[in-house]
Chain A
Amino acid sequence: MPDTISPPNPGVIDLRSNDVWQYPLGADIDPDNPAAEAREEYRQQQYAEQLAAPDPESFAIESGQPLRPIREGAAVNQFETVPGQNEAVTYTTNQGVVINPQHAEAVLAEAASAVDNAYGATPEMLAAAAARQSREQLAAAVAQAGVYAPRVEAMRDRALIDWGMPGDNSLN
C-alpha cells in the first residue's frame, strides 16, 4: 500500500497513488500484481479510445465523403492554405473551429463543395439559377416588346379618326 492516498483530483498526477485515474503513463507498474496489470490495460484502452475519439469541434474527414461541420449549424466560411505548408489546409467555421488536414488538393475540392452546401448553392443550383434569371430577363424583354406596337396602333387609330380617309382599310 502506498504511504498516502491522494484525493480524487484528476488534474493532479500523484506518482504514489494506485488510483487508475491518476495513473501516469507507464509508471508504477508491478508486473507481478494482476490488479496493477489490469489497471494498466484499462488505462491503455481508455487512452486509445481517447485518441480515436473525434474532436467534436472539427470536421468529419473521411475519404470520399464531403466535408461538413459536425456541429449542427456550423458552416464553412473560410478555407485557406497555410503558407509554407503545401499540404496543410486551415479550415475555419463560423464557430471559430480550425483544423489542419493533410492531402490539400482533395480536401480543398471537398471543402469547396462544403462551402456550396453550407450556402445552399451547389453547381447545379447555380446553373439553374442562372438559367432562371436568363428566362426571366427574356420574359421581361418579350413583355416589353409587346407594349409598344399596341400603343402605336392606338395613336394611329386616333389619328385616322382625326385626319384619316373615311373607311380607310389600306392595310387591313
Chain B
Amino acid sequence: MSFVHKLADLITGGTPPSSGAGRRRPRFTRRDLIRMESQIGGRLFGPVPKGHRREFFCLDRHTWVWYEEWFDEASRRKVSTTTRYEVHDNGVLKVQEGQPYKFVEGQELTNLVWAMHLYYEEVARTIYGYDPTTGKPMPVGAR
C-alpha cells in the first residue's frame, strides 16, 4: 500500500481507489491534510488522557490551534476548549473563549515553540515526505 493510500485510509477509514490506469487517484482537500496533521500534533504533548480528544495543528501561516475535548462526568456532557495562538511580529497572542487575550511568554512560549518545531518535523517526514532539515524530498524508503 502506498504512502498516499495509507493517508487516505487514515482519513476515510477505508482504502480509496488505487491510482493507475483506469483507476482514480486519491484526492485530498486542505481540511484533510490538516486533519492528518492534527493527529500527529495531538500526540506531541504526551499521552492523551483517557476519554480526551486532543488536536494541535497549524491552521494557516500565522495561526496554531489547540483543541481538547472530553466528557465531563459531573455535568454528564461533552465539553471542549479551543485555544488559538496567533503569531504576530511582536509576540504570540493566546486567544481562548471567555479569557482575555494575552501574549504568551516564559516557559509556555518556550514549550509552544518547541511543539511547533516538533510538529513541523513530524508532519514533514511522516505526511509530506520532506527532510525537515534540508527541506528536500526524502527517499520513499526513508519516510
Q: Quote the shortest CB–CB distance from A8 to chain B (angstroms).
A: 77
**Interface residue? A31 (CB, 8 A):** no
Q: Which residues of B contact A (CB under 8 A)?
A: 4, 25-31, 33-34, 37, 58-64, 87-92, 105, 109-110, 112-113, 116-117, 119-120, 123-124, 127-128, 130, 135
A: contact size bracket: 20 to 34
Chain B: minimal CB distance from A160 (Å): 6
Task: Indicate which residue in B29, B60, B127 contacts A170 across the interface (CB closer than 8 Å).
Answer: B29
A116-172 residues at the B interface, CB under 8 angstroms: 138, 141-142, 144-146, 148-153, 155-156, 158-160, 163-166, 168-172
A149-B62, A149-B63, A171-B34 known; A163-B27 Cβ under 8 A: yes
In the bound assembly, the distance between CA atoms of A160 and B81 in angstroms comes to 29
Distance (Å) between the CB of B103 and the closest chain A CB? Answer: 9
Q: In the complex, what distance in Å separates the CA atom of A156 from the CA atom of B124?
A: 10
Are A142 and B61 CB-contacts (below 8 A) given A149-B87, A152-B119, A171-B34?
Answer: no
| Chain A interface helix/strand/loop/mixed | helix
The one of B25, B60, B88 that contacts A149, using a Cβ cutoff of 8 Å: B60
From A150, A166, A169, residue with most partner B Cβ within 10 Å: A150
Q: What's the Cα separation between A105 and B29 when bound, in Å?
A: 74
- Which residues of chain A are within 8 angstroms of B62 by Cβ–Cβ distance? 146, 149
The 7 closest A-B pairs by CB, nearest first: A155-B128, A148-B120, A148-B116, A170-B31, A170-B29, A152-B58, A165-B27
13 pairs, A vs B, C-beta closer than 8 Å: A141-B113, A145-B87, A145-B109, A145-B112, A151-B120, A152-B123, A156-B30, A156-B128, A160-B30, A164-B27, A164-B30, A165-B27, A171-B30
Q: How far, in whole Å, are A153 and B33 apart by their CA atoms in the complex?
A: 10
A155 near B123: Cβ-Cβ < 8 Å: yes
A146-B62, A149-B60, A171-B60 known, 20 other contacts, Cβ within 8 Å:
A144-B113, A144-B116, A148-B116, A149-B63, A149-B64, A152-B37, A153-B58, A153-B61, A155-B127, A156-B30, A159-B33, A159-B128, A163-B4, A163-B26, A163-B27, A164-B28, A164-B29, A164-B30, A169-B30, A170-B29
